[in-house]
Every structure is written in C-alpha cells, then in structure tokens.
Amino acid sequence: MSNLKPLDVVLENGTLIDPATGLNGSFDIGVQDGVIVAVSDSLKSVEAVERINVAGHHVIPGMIDTHAHVYEHVTGKFGLSPDLVGVYSGVTTLVDQGGPSCMTIGGFRNFIARPSASRVLAFISAYLVGGLEGHLYPELYGPNGVNAEHTIAVAKDNLDLVKGIKAHAEIGGQSRWGMEVIKIGQEIATATDLPLYIHLGQLWPTSNSAPIPSSDELMRELLPIMKEGDVLAHPFTRHPGGFVSDQGEIHPILLEAVKQKQILVDVGHGSHFSFDVARRILDAGIMPFTLGADMHGYNVTIPDATDKSERAANPFSGVAPFNLTIAMSELLHLGVPLEQVIEMVTCNPAKLLRMEDELGSIAVGREADISVLKIETGRFKLSDNSGENVTAEKLIRPAFCLRAGQRFDATSAFVPEAVVA
C-alpha cells in the first residue's frame, strides 16, 4: 500500500476472526487517524509509529455489549462506570438497557454518553422512571407509569442514542397489570420503528389479590404482542417466568415464535445465568442472537463497597464473578463454536442496532474499534448463579481494545481473575 505518512498503529501477528467479512486467519491491521486503513497478510514493510505484537491473541471487531447498566449514580446501585464496563474491559460499545427514560435521556446524553471513552447507546425505558432500582418500587412500573406519547417523541428526537425500547414481562408484574405495559411498550416501539426488548424472569413478588400466573400463561399472552425483530432477554434465567415452562419443557409457542416470527434472543447474563437451563435451551435448538453481559452494581464486586448485606439480599444479586468474556467462555464450554460466540458480540449486535455499516466488522475505512482477546487453555472453574460449577478447557480474557484508534488496556476491576480448577 502507498501512504504519505507512517501508520499510527499496526497490530501484527494476531489471529483475526471477523464473521461479518468471513476473515479468519493471520492478518495485520493498520490504523491511521483512528480509522482502519489496511487489513493485509503482512504490513511488515509498511512504516508505522507503533507496532503491537499480538501473536497468540485473537483480534476481533470491537465488542458490543447489548445489555449494560451504566447510568451511573442516576440509577442508584445499578449504574456502573461506563468505561470500566466498556473500554477498560475490552468492550468498545455499550447498550444501556432501560436506564434512561423520556424524563432522563438528557442527563444520559450529557453525563454518560458524551464524556465516556466507550461508545454508549441505549434502549430507552418504556417507564417514566427508567431504571431507578425498580425492584424496590414495583408500583412505579405499571401502566400508569408509562407515557407513550412523550416517550415516542423523545425517542424520535434522540435516535442517534436510542436504538430500542425496554420493558419487562414477568409474573410479578403480570399478576398486577396483565400485559398492559407490554402493549404500551409495543405501541412505542412500533411508532418509533425500533425493536422492543423484553426482560423475562421474575423480579417482583406476585400480587396477594391475584392468582400466581404460570410461565405458560405469560408466554401465551406475551408472544402475540411481539413483532419481528423484537428481543427476548434472559433465555438461560434461573428465575420463574422464563423460557422453560412450569413442567420443565421449552414452551412450544416460544420455539415457534423464535423460528417463524424471527424473534431474537439476547443472553442477558447477569445474575440469571444457569448452566442447566442453558443446556436445555441450546439442546432445543434456540441459539441466542446476541450476548449481553447484564453487569450492574448488584451482581459484580464493586471496589470499596460498604453495603454488601443490602446487595446480597437483592433479587438481582449474583454469586458468580463474570463479565462479557466470562459469558463468552461459558457458551464456548457449552459447545457453541468460537466464531458463533464472536458473532454474538460483534456483527449480530451491530445488526440489532441497525449500525452494521459502522460497527461489527474490521474493514478498511471504518473507525478502528477493535478488541484483542487472549484465549487461555487449561482447566478453569466457571460458576453459574444457581451454584453449579463446571471445569472449562478454554477461558476467554480481554487484553486491550482500540476505540477509534486509541488503546485501552483491560485493567478494569470488573475483569474477574482466572480460577484454575
């Protein structure tokens, strides 16, 4: 290649896996002025200001976490530091799930998205209160807490940030309000031409004045409301009201919806993840489309936290240290091929966000958003949130990322230490 000045950075000797382009092998990547300018078998003859030897590492498009909680301070203990979840964990793009609402999107833009080194987007909450620790105040999350007209207007005014609508379908809320909130959420999603992202798995106690709904009943009422391209989250949840029926089987209506209506599935790991449920879902032929980590202040270890007892008593709390690459390692252990796992954090979320022309691929002319991973071989202990431990032979760990060409090492306190089995 010809170039008038040296490249800023060359990543050399790494194994590139880019499912969007089909590239899988040894490639060098050249970056200049924050943009990818070369992807080649070798750039050793090209002058560069900095060469980074990534031999023994996998180089992939910048990872996209489709389920983040980073509206720091505003959403109470839920909101984590965006850059500790993002670039300092090897992740270049975060999608906050339901933190900002039509009332708080301005603060999200100016105090979270704008100053963060990570790219931060959002699925705006259908609820006026957004992600204000809703587990404590379920009465705020009923139909009276939703304003479709205002949310539609605000979402349309902020489409550079707002990429979807977030709502909850769980048996505690269903026992109080039925599916009214989901219907309003779909009204918002349809009017804005955005996907509706639905949380599954019980959060709130059921109403004392109503029969406890069954998982089957919830699915029968929920799925007809959903449209093609909408997302169901937490397929591997250990909580009631998920993909598994009360009889322990995968809902037939759910299988049909995923296969015929093209309803998408996001892992939404969080404190939900169960190896047992994951095996059942994968064996049934349901493959997640995207892999969100769902890290928040109740399921990760926060340095210097003083409220451990309060956090432990919370229904969102988890017992297993994790991040996005641990979630990837778990899927790899469950038999999902590496390239398919990488799709879930690169090109697939880019499609969900309708940003596949910008994100999810390493291609000349694109912004240099690149994640570099180390896949270690050995015997590693992985734990789910029901207490099951497994021994994995592969562990995916973040090394660093380039975000718009700038390097960030994976030094976040949220990156768990490897536990040797």
- Helix, strand, coil percent content, the chain, rounded in steps of 5: 25, 30, 45
**How many other C-beta atoms can be found within 10 angstroms of the C-beta atom of residue 1?**
11
The structural domains of the chain, ordered by start, are: 7-60+361-409 (2.30.40.10), 62-352 (3.20.20.140)
113-125 pLDDT, tens per residue? 999 999 999 999 9
Long-range contacts of 335-339 (CB under 8 A, 24+ apart): 335/282, 336/282, 336/287, 338/17, 338/375, 339/17, 339/19, 339/24
Q: Pairing mode, if any, of strands 119-125 and 264-266?
A: unpaired
Q: Is 234 annotated in some ligand binding site? A: yes
pLDDT category of residue 394 using cuts at 50, 70 and 90:
very high
Which residues, at least 6 apart from 345, have a Cβ–Cβ distance to it below 8 Å?
Answer: 60, 63, 64, 65, 290, 291, 324, 328
Local structure of residue 160 (DSSP, 8 states): T
pLDDT category of residue 77 using cuts at 50, 70 and 90:
confident
Q: Is 333 annotated in some ligand binding site? A: no
Instruction: Tell me, yes or no, if the pTM score tops 0.85.
Output: yes
Q: Pairing mode, if any, of strands 7-18 and 48-53?
A: parallel
204-213 pLDDT, tens per residue? 777 766 666 6
Q: Is 266 annotated in some ligand binding site? A: no
Tell me which H or E stretch contains 396. Answer: strand 389-403
The pLDDT value recorded for residue 3 is 55
Rounded to whole angstroms, how far apart are CA atoms 217 and 210? 14
The pLDDT value recorded for residue 319 is 52
Rounded to whole angstroms, how far apart are CA atoms 139 and 265? 28
Q: Is 199 annotated in some ligand binding site? A: yes
pLDDT category of residue 253 using cuts at 50, 70 and 90:
confident
